[in-house]
């Protein structure tokens, strides 16, 4: 027993640091793909890996040869399958403010709620995206840069009828509006109701592959909706919207 223990290397502080860094990377990757189609691809790759192990155990030589060649190009396959997620993650590096405060987030929630209520009362359509963990620089680049502090007046001016910025989405990071008139991807989910307009479909489409939160004000009936993880909650009161925004992490 003593000789067995003697061959076990003594733990170093570098080992603990190494484990923490790898664990953090795995956690961030899990956050990136959680609730997206990429998660289904990961499950599919896991099934392929299990089939490869099974083919070795059962001596299925042809299947094993095919899967070994497939998995031999694993890195290339990952890049091809997850190119959109990789691009989104890399362009979002540094976009998030790690020093934002709960007070600033709460203040922005109040300002956005006030603006949404004003727009809804006048049936002025609006699409407001709140950036979370995953960066939105890819979509910011499609619009007009603003970089202004969130205020009801600024939000209302952006979406006022006749404004050159009212078409498209305004993207918010913390308590600042980064850009307006940004183009968002429409949902390709066949289960989305055909009665929903372009703004609502864009809100669902973005949140299907992103952890952003999207506020939608309907131009037709003035209802306030919020989209997250590909799901749309409609008919929110200003009070319900404020509570939902206050619960968001900073």
What average pLDDT does the structure give for the chain? 82
Average pLDDT over residues 97-125: 76
| pLDDT surpasses 90 at 1 | no
Q: Cα–Cα distances in Å, from 87 out to 80, 81, 182, 195? A: 11, 12, 18, 32
Average pLDDT over residues 41-64: 83
User: Which is nearest to 115 in space by CA: 102, 124, 106?
Assistant: 124
- Going from N- to C-terminal start, the domains of the chain cover 2-81, 102-246
Predicted confidence (pLDDT) per residue in 24-47, tens digit: 887 777 766 655 556 667 777 788
102-246 CATH choice from 3.40.109.10, 3.40.50.20, 2.60.120.340, 3.40.1700.10? 3.40.1700.10
Q: Which residue matches tokens 């307006």?
A: 180
Average pLDDT over residues 152-171: 93
Could you tell me how far CA 168 lies from the centroid of its own chain? 18
Lowest-confidence segment of 50-54, 102-106, 178-182 by average pLDDT? 102-106
pTM comes to 0.62
Lowest-confidence segment of 3-12, 67-76, 185-194, 232-241 by average pLDDT? 3-12
């Amino acid at each position: 027993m003593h000789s067995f223990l003697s061959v076990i290397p003594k733990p170093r502080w570098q080992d603990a640091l190494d484990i923490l860094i790898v664990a953090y990377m795995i956690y961030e990757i899990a956050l990136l793909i959680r609730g997206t189609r990429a998660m289904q691809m990961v499950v599919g790759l896991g099934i392929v890996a299990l089939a490869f192990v099974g083919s070795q155990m059962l001596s299925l030589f042809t299947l094993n040869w095919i899967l070994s060649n497939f998995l031999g190009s694993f890195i290339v396959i990952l890049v091809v399958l997850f190119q959109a997620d990789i691009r989104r993650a890399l362009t979002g590096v540094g976009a998030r403010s790690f020093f934002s405060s709960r007070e600033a987030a709460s203040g922005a929630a109040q300002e956005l709620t006030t603006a949404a209520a004003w727009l809804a009362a006048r049936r002025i359509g609006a699409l407001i995206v709140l950036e979370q963990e995953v960066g939105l620089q890819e979509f910011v680049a499609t619009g007009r840069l603003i970089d202004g502090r969130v205020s009801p007046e600024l939000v209302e001016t952006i979406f006022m009828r006749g404004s050159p910025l009212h078409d498209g989405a305004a993207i918010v990071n913390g308590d600042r509006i980064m850009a307006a008139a940004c183009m968002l991807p429409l949902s390709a989910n066949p289960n989305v109701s055909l009665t929903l307009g372009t703004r609502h479909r864009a809100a669902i489409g973005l949140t299907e592959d992103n952890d952003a939160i999207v506020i939608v004000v309907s131009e037709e009936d003035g209802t306030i909706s919020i989209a997250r993880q590909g799901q749309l909650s409609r008919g929110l009161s200003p009070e319900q919207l404020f509570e939902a925004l206050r619960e968001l992490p900073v």
